């Protein structure tokens, strides 16, 4: 029974625009290939065929197939969809004019995107960035004159609150992923302090950015020098002996989380030898209120000491430390080795 119904649904009886008589017309579905910016997308199209003259008749009930084609393309590319763009703008009560002004592209362009036009790759990057509360706050701050006083105040207040929540969220996420080590020689006799870890990373990425391999070493030196001076690590983080030197526990997750939340952004740097590096740059100012004076001075000394070291140079340097020489692959490094660290100054 079900089949019969479906078949009935597929066929209609109406006047054929070709032979101009009342005929049965069968719905035919077809899969077609569309090329969108070098990407082949399959989408379904449908039309009717007249049982008398056998001409193809347009199916008025379907929307433009390009709507579906672009939807699929956006999914493949991870692009923002038009409805998400509209929702984002409405959430902050931003007009098309305001948002497009902050992003530096025309209001007409933004309006076309919201109505289904396919965004360019670079516009998609700008939009994604703007959708992160941290970055949006920065954009609003830079473009204060385009808002009325009341609107500006309301916007900044709500963004401020959102960034704070996000910040708590991010520290919770990171806490869940990092090893809950006991307070012992491997944590530097400190409890894991994720908020401090985040600020430490932001600090080290504030000076034009830092490559990932180098960042790992800067964290190691900050924590280990702090331990050397005060027998307490700064963050309570564990470090592991890996081929490129000592690295923080689960660092890939930590950085990915901070990138995802817009605390850091990533620049790909390509070298003449074809090698690619990931340069991490802070998206906001560092907040060092959680660090004591001794820790602050260590941060500054570590940053200054290694400022001009390449990733390779700092890796080679770290390989000479007892903390590295006296441990084996995958071993968690005891903070007791900080006694033998090379001099900081």
Per CB under 5 A, residues contacting Zn ion are 16, 18-19, 50, 52-53
CB of 87 to Zn ion, least distance (A): 45
CB 94 within 8 A of CB 151: no
Exposure b/e, 327-338, CB count within 10 A at least 16 = b: beeeebbbbebb
Tokens 């560092």 correspond to 286
Compare residues 18 and 281 and give the one whose CB is closer to Zn ion: 18
Compare residues 25 and 96 and give the one whose CB is closer to Zn ion: 25
H and E: helices and strands count for the chain: 14, 9
Compare residues 51 and 95 and give the one whose CB is closer to Zn ion: 51
Q: List the strands of the sheet with 39-50, edge to edge.
A: 11-15, 22-36, 39-50, 56-58
CB of 12 to Zn ion, least distance (A): 13
Compare residues 25 and 222 and give the one whose CB is closer to Zn ion: 25
The H-assigned helical ranges of 38-132 are 65-77, 82-91, 96-103, 107-114, 121-130
CB of 56 to Zn ion, least distance (A): 10
CB of 10 to Zn ion, least distance (A): 17
How many other CB atoms sit within 10 Å of the CB of residue 308?
A: 7
Compare residues 13 and 161 and give the one whose CB is closer to Zn ion: 13
CB of 50 to Zn ion, least distance (A): 3
CB 235 within 8 A of CB 200: yes
């Amino acid at each position: 029974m079900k089949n019969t119904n479906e078949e009935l649904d597929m066929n209609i009886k109406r006047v054929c625009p070709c032979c101009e008589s009342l005929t049965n017309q069968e719905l035919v579905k077809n899969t077609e290939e569309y090329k969108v910016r070098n990407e082949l997308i399959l989408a379904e199209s449908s039309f009717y065929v007249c049982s008398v003259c056998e001409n193809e008749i347009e199916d008025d009930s379907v929307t433009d197939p390009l709507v579906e084609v672009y939807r699929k393309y956006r999914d493949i590319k991870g692009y923002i969809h038009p409805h998400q763009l509209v929702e984002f703008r409405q959430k902050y009560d931003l007009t098309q004019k305001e948002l497009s002004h902050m992003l530096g592209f025309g209001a007409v362009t933004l309006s076309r995107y919201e109505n289904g036009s396919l965004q360019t790759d670079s516009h998609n990057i700008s939009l994604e960035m703007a959708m992160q509360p941290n970055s949006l706050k920065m954009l609003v701050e830079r473009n204060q004159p385009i808002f009325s006083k009341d609107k500006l105040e309301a916007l900044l207040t709500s963004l401020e609150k959102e960034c704070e929540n996000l910040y708590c969220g991010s520290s919770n996420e990171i806490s869940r992923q990092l090893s809950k080590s006991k307070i012992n020689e491997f944590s530097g006799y400190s409890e894991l302090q994720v908020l401090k870890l985040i600020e430490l990373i932001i600090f080290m990425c504030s000076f034009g950015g830092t490559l990932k391999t180098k960042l790992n070493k800067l964290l190691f030196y900050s924590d280990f020098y702090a331990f050397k001076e005060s027998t307490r690590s700064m963050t309570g983080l564990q470090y592991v002996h890996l081929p490129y030197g000592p690295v923080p526990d689960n660092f890939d997750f930590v950085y990915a989380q901070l990138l995802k939340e817009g605390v850091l952004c990533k620049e790909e740097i390509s070298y003449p030898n074809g090698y690619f590096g990931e340069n991490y740059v802070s998206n906001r100012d560092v907040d060092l209120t959680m660090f004591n004076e001794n820790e602050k001075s260590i941060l500054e000394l570590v940053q200054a000491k290694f400022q001009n070291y390449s990733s390779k140079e700092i890796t080679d340097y770290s390989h000479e430390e007892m903390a590295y020489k006296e441990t084996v692959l995958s071993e968690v490094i005891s903070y007791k080795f900080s006694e033998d660290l090379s001099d900081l100054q």
